[in-house]
Amino acid sequence: MKMTFRWYGEGNDSVSLSQIKQIPGVEGLVWALHDKAAGEVWPLDEILEVKKQADQYGFHLDVVESINVHEDIKLGLSSRDQYIENYKESLRNVAKIGAKVVCFNFMPVFDWTRTDLFKELEDGSTALFYEHEKVKNMNPDDLFKQTIGSGYSMPGWEPERLDVIKDSFEAYKSVSDEDLWANLEYFLGEVLPVAEEEGVKLAIHPDDPPWPVFDLPRIIVSEKAVERYLSISDSPSHCITLCSGSLGANPQNDIPKIIRRFSSRIAFAHIRNVRRYDNSDFIETSHRTQDGSVPIDDVVKAYHETGFTGYARPDHGRHLWNEDCRPGYGLYDRALGIMYLWGLWDAYELTKENEVK
């Protein structure tokens, strides 16, 4: 397991590279050009600038999260081909500095959905919270304004998208789940050959949460959906990002089982815990198994047992000790999460060694 840490870039993150360097076992940064809108080509000179910054601290840039997919591609519009060509060019450019994995998603309009960015937990920390009933009765515009009002740029919630959100919802009224699957297959048919040629693994992120939101289609939501997705191609570049928090919001998704079944196709592991409620609400918690509903101890065990050598990161964390940070991306809880994950991994290593003896 290769440990990484998400970083939003110089001047765009409350966390510095010198702080990340002090977290044991972190080898690389999960990065992106966050100022680029979906559909734009990522210029090589800007990519090289990020590499220059990472090199100063000895971090690799093997994992990109995310090169966002333009909405016209998801909608299957005639204009998609140019945006797909731009996507290919971005893949070629990130490959030039050694990128090995590109995480992406195929969620319409919203990349992820939460109703509260700083919901207080019983210990006084705060975390991202999803209130199911509130989403059912909420105006999408209001949710969008609330999220972009956090003071930090939020992937998938760029302020400029507010101007087109109504048009986007209108466009998706005629798009079914099967339409979205067909548009995804078309996209993959175009970009996978380029990814394979460049030695890059394209790793789709599950939908967050894994059910329809605002009546928009959602398709990467379950073990069955992962199976269908992976059956589209046997290319070595056709992979998944397994997010324990996204899929884990639905109690029907057995995350350790999914890992054990598809481990060889998991290029990137997002390890996150959530506490589920019977009414479909959920809140993000510490990574510790006992604090949430996802058995993180068994999640890590599944990766260890299957010989996982891919990339992992502590996904979202709580906001601790009055930290001023991007929602879900505080330094302290993600650093604590890494040490918990390493503790589990090391324990399984020791058990394995003792069994051999």
57 is annotated as an active-site residue: no
Among 13, 87, 239, 243, the active-site one is 243
Q: Is 340 a catalytic residue?
A: no
- 55 has catalytic annotation: no
The yes-or-no answer on residue 315 being catalytic is: yes
To the query of whether residue 287 is one of the catalytic residues in this protein, the response is no
Q: How big is the chain by its Cα radius of gyration, in Å?
A: 19
Catalytic annotation, pick one of 205, 238, 304, 319: 205
Residue 243 designated active-site:
yes
Among the listed residues 83, 130, 229, 329, the single catalytic one is 329
Catalytic residue among 60, 70, 270, 287: 270
Q: Write out the catalytic residue numbers.
A: 205, 243, 270, 315-316, 329
